[in-house]
Structure 1
Amino acid sequence: MDDVLVIGGTRFIGRYTVSEFRDAGYDVTMFNRGTRANPFVDDEAVAHFEGNRRDRDALEDVHTAVDPDVVVDCVAYFPEDVRVATDVFADVDAYVYVSSGAAYGEERVPKREDDTALEPCSDEQATTDSAETYGPRKAEGDREVFSAAEAGVRAMSVRPTVVYGPHDYTERFAYWVDRVDVEDRVVVPGDGLSLWQMAYVEDVASALRLVAEAGTAGEAYNVGDEHAPMLGQWLDLLAETCETGVETVGATARDLARHGLEPQDFPMYRASPHLLETAKLRALGWSSTPHRVALQRTVAEHRENERTGRQFGPDRETEGEILDALTE
């Protein structure tokens, strides 16, 4: 497998996927609309083919132009995207679909690829672009992968939990990096006991390469940090990385309600634990990056960009009122 086509490739997971395959000696082509800055514009090892991934003719054109051995599909957000792609690229050595831990429709700890039920997906959900339909759409994409594999395509799925790291445009984790880096005291919902396993972006990229190389057709592979700190522990790790001290003040749902908030108003809070079993991926030789290394890279890039994530959580004035009320 020498030639890799990454559908996407400029923003976050796709960006690191391109680097992962390039650094492993593959010839890499990105396929996207070209509407975002290309971080590899000066890299002769990375080609760029413009087109709309939702246009079958465009997919067929890039198939003819590149003749890829591997296709990594980072931006398949609708089941139809996967259905068409696995048909167009049915002859490749590996088609790897970037799914999500949100595809699971059952609250179990941990969630296992072969035991935990996926979200159902109605016809309406399959074509509706909203946060509420994201999990069902990803689950239906998984089912398209399984169907393609049954038809003889070497198609596989990779399911990351929430991804963090440099260049994270979602800013979910940036909220907490910013709070720890610039404030002395922060409010932590639920006393910091929320458990939402995360996945470092470089580890997701390495998982995609390993699955392409050694995965089994028709299988799904979870990706998540091998150690899953609770929210309060993440803040301790961030404080250590930022070389600062921060006082974390736990707030119950009742405490927050007095100020018109609920725990879910804070990024990375989850009422029930979300933990993915990663033994299946580790059996391929995968391992996760130590948190201290991952956070050093994340904080360094965070300080260079203008993303703070403040718009995704309570404003500092309200947080100050909560802190005052809880520490009187």
Structure 2
Amino acid sequence: MTHALVIGGTRFIGRHTVEEFLAHDYDVTIFNRGNHDNPFADDERVDHVQGDRTDDMDLQTASLAAKPDVVVDCVAYKPAEVERAVEVFSDVDAYVYISSGDAYGREEIPKREGETPMRPCTPDQAEDDSGETYGNRKAEGDRVVFEAAESGVNAMSVRPCIVYGPHDYTERMDYWLNRVENYDRIVVPGDGQNVWHRAYVEDVASALRVVAEEGEAGEVYNVGDRRLVTLEEMLDLAADAMDTDVDVVHAGERELAVGGLDTSKFVLYRDYPHVLDTNKLASLGWESTSLETAMARTVEEHRESERDGAEYDPGREAEERVLGVLDTL
């Protein structure tokens, strides 16, 4: 394998995926609409084919232009898009589809490939664009991959959990980093022991390459940090990376209600733990970055960016009311 085509390739997971393949001596072509700044515009090692992945002709053009050995599909959000891709790239050495941990349809700890049931997907859900059907559509994309593999296509899936790290345009982690950097006291819902499995973005990129090289057709591989941390431990890691201290203040439902808040107002909080078993991926030789290193790199890029996660901010005044009540207890 010497040439990788990354569908997407300029924003977050795709950007790190390009860097991962370049670091392992691949030639790389990115295929996208060109709607976002291309961080590889001046890199002679990276070719760019502009087009719409939902257009069959554009997808075929990208295939003919790149002649890839490996295809990593970062932006397939509907099953029909995966169906077209496995047809166009049916003869590549590896087609790797980025699915999601949200494809799992039952709450259990941990969620395992091939054991934990997947979400169903109705025809209407398959064509929907809302966040409510994201997991359903990703699960159906997995099923397309499985069927393609049965027909001889070397297609595989990678299922990340919540992804964080440099250049994360979702700003979910940025909200908490902004809190750690600017406030001595941080309100955390519950007892701080919430667990929502996260995956460092460089590890997701390396997983995509390892699966392309070592994975088996028709298989799906979970990816996430090998050591999980609670929400409170995540904030402690961030504080250490920023060389500061924070006081994490726990707030239950009654205390939050004083500020007009509830647990749903806090990003990266989940009542029931979400944990993926990553042993299958590790068996291919994949390793994850230490949490300390991952957070240090995340913090460094966060400080260089203008992202603050403001869209997730429940309101500091509301939090101050909660803190005031807790101080009287």
Q: TM-score, normalised by structure 2?
A: 0.99
| Paired residue secondary structure (1:117) | coil
- Match of 1:231, as an amino acid? L
* 1:268 lines up with 2:280 in the alignment: no
- 1:3-48 CA distances to partner (integer Å, 9 max, x unpaired)? 1100000000000000000110000000000111000011101110
Query: For residues 42-81 of structure 1, what are the structure 2 equivalents within 5 Å?
Result: 42-81=42-81
Distance in 2 of aligned mates of 1:289 and 1:70: 24
Q: Per-residue deviation at 1:320?
A: 1.1
- Match of 1:3, as an amino acid? H
Q: Per-residue deviation at 1:193?
A: 1.4
Q: Answer whether contact 2:193 2:231 (CA < 8 A) is retained.
A: yes
What residue in structure 2 maps to residue 30 of structure 1? 30
- Match of 1:53, as an amino acid? R
What residue in structure 2 maps to residue 143 of structure 1? 143
What residue in structure 2 maps to residue 122 of structure 1? 122
Q: Answer whether contact 2:186 2:247 (CA < 8 A) is retained.
A: yes
What residue in structure 1 maps to residue 93 of structure 2? 93
Query: For residues 108-119 of structure 1, what are the structure 2 equivalents within 5 Å?
Result: 108-119=108-119
Query: For residues 283-298 of structure 1, what are the structure 2 equivalents within 5 Å?
Result: 283-298=283-298
What residue in structure 2 maps to residue 311 of structure 1? 311
What residue in structure 1 maps to residue 187 of structure 2? 187
Q: Which moved more, 1:63-72 or 1:217-226?
A: 63-72
- Match of 1:108, as an amino acid? E
| Paired residue secondary structure (2:132) | coil
Q: Per-residue deviation at 1:174?
A: 0.7
| Paired residue secondary structure (1:222) | strand
Q: Per-residue deviation at 1:191?
A: 1.6
- 1:116-164 CA distances to partner (integer Å, 9 max, x unpaired)? 0011011111111011000000000000000100110000000000000
- 1:80-110 CA distances to partner (integer Å, 9 max, x unpaired)? 0100000010010000000000100110100
> Which consecutive residues of structure 1, in runs of 5 or more, have no partner in the other structure?
none
Cα RMSD, aligned residues only: 0.7
Q: Which moved more, 1:156-165 or 1:232-241?
A: 232-241
What residue in structure 2 maps to residue 301 of structure 1? 301
Q: Per-residue deviation at 1:325?
A: 1.2
Structure 1 runs of 4+ aligned residues shifted over 6 Å read none
- 1:259-278 CA distances to partner (integer Å, 9 max, x unpaired)? 22111210100010000000
Identity of matched residues, %: 59
What residue in structure 2 maps to residue 4 of structure 1? 4
Q: Per-residue deviation at 1:257?
A: 2.1
Distance in 1 of aligned mates of 2:238 and 2:19: 26
What residue in structure 2 maps to residue 20 of structure 1? 20
Q: Per-residue deviation at 1:2?
A: 0.8
| Paired residue secondary structure (1:173) | helix
Q: Which moved more, 1:46-55 or 1:249-258?
A: 249-258
Query: For residues 201-240 of structure 1, what are the structure 2 equivalents within 5 Å?
Result: 201-240=201-240
| Paired residue secondary structure (2:38) | coil
Q: Per-residue deviation at 1:319?
A: 1.0
- Match of 2:255, as an amino acid? D
Distance in 1 of aligned mates of 2:193 and 2:124: 36
Distance in 2 of aligned mates of 1:323 and 1:259: 9
Distance in 2 of aligned mates of 1:6 and 1:45: 13
What residue in structure 2 maps to residue 256 of structure 1? 256
Q: TM-score, normalised by structure 1?
A: 0.99
Q: Answer whether contact 2:261 2:318 (CA < 8 A) is retained.
A: no
